[in-house]
Amino acid sequence: MDKFTTIQGVAAPLPMINVDTDMIIPKQFLKTIKRTGLGVNLFDEMRYDDNGDEIADFVLNKPQYRGAKILVAGENFGCGSSREHAPWAIKDFGISCVIAPSFADIFYNNCFKNGILPIILPQEQVDMLMDDASRGSNATLTVDLVQQEITGPDGGTIKFDVDPFRKHCLLEGLDDIGLTLQKQDNINSFEQQMSASRPWV
């Protein structure tokens, strides 16, 4: 998993509440177990019409937001089923930070495990960032995980909270496997002791 320290980029506004995981990545794209290749189908039913053509007025189809690195969304983002493909699709599209007033718990946890920083802010601060994001290509935000600070296009800053352990994992690029591998020497030692004391196992 890539380390997350600071990102600077365009923020896309998605002022919708209760965006569920089926809206993020519809069920027909859940056949893969790979984390890559899902970005093209992110928000598939909102991005494309029945013929597979792009819907021009959907935010991520607009030229100024195609390279968005940050998503500013409404409350209860990521509700619905617990599919891990949802953060996979967001990350594969190129978005590394989602800002909202609230998240569904499982989606929120899955974000951290896949290198995405979900930030919870009061509604009034989300509204301010949503307004910033509406400026299109001028809607550049900087998210500094070390300082736990968001800087807007006009230089204003907003502080955010994040669990210290999850912050550490993002800064070091550690998912669950990476955390386990930090104990590789202990694991090897245990396996050697087990092989010596219980060779029949």
* Angle, CA of 177, 107 and 19, to the nearest 5°: 150
149 within 8 A of 122, measured Cβ to Cβ: no
Rounded mean pLDDT of 87-115? Answer: 97
Quick one: pLDDT at residue 135?
87
Condensed to tens digits (0 to 9), the pLDDT of residues 183-198 reads: 566 666 677 777 778 7
| Domain boundaries defined on the chain | 6-173
Whether pLDDT at 155 is above 80: yes
Whether pLDDT at 177 is above 80: no
Band (pLDDT 50/70/90 cuts) for residue 35 is: confident
Quick one: pLDDT at residue 201?
65
Q: Which of these, 57, 65, 67, lies nearest to 133 by C-alpha position? A: 65
Quick one: pLDDT at residue 189?
67
Quick one: pLDDT at residue 106?
96
Quick one: pLDDT at residue 152?
94
CATH architecture of 6-173: Alpha-Beta Barrel (3.20)
